[in-house]
Chain A
Amino acid sequence: MRHFLVMTAFAAMAAVVFGTVAKDTTRDRLTYGLKVFAEFMAIGLILGWILYFLPF
Chain B
Amino acid sequence: MSRAEVERLGHDSAPPRAWLMGLAAWLVPGLGHLLQGRWVRAVLLGGAVWICFLSGLAMGGHLFIMGGNEQGLSALLQLPPMIANLGSGVPYIISWFFGVGFADDPAHAALATFEYGNTFLLVAGLLNYLAMLDAFDIAAGRKA
Q: Which residue of B lies closest to A12 (CB)?
A: B48
Interface of A is mostly: helix
Contact with A along B98-135 (1 / 0, CB 8 A): 00000000000000010010011001000100110110
**A20–B116 CB distance below 8 A:** no
Instruction: Tally B residues with Cβ within 8 Å of A.
Output: 21
**A17–B51 CB distance below 8 A:** no
**A21–B133 CB distance below 8 A:** yes
B27 interface hit (Cβ, 8 Å) = no
Interface of B is mostly: helix
Contact with B along A1-43 (1 / 0, CB 8 A): 0000010011001101110110100000000000000000000
**B119–A10 CB distance below 8 A:** yes
Q: Which residue of B lies closest to A21 (CB)?
A: B134
Select B44's contact among A6, A9, A10, A16, beta carbons within 8 Å: A16
Select B120's contact among A10, A16, A18, A21, beta carbons within 8 Å: A10
**B134–A20 CB distance below 8 A:** yes
Q: Give the residues in chain A near B131, CB-CB below 8 Å.
A: 17, 20-21
Q: Give the residues in chain B near A14, CB-CB below 8 Å.
A: 48, 123, 127
Of all A-B residue pairs in the complex, the 4 with the closest CB atoms, nearest first, are A21-B134, A13-B48, A17-B127, A16-B48
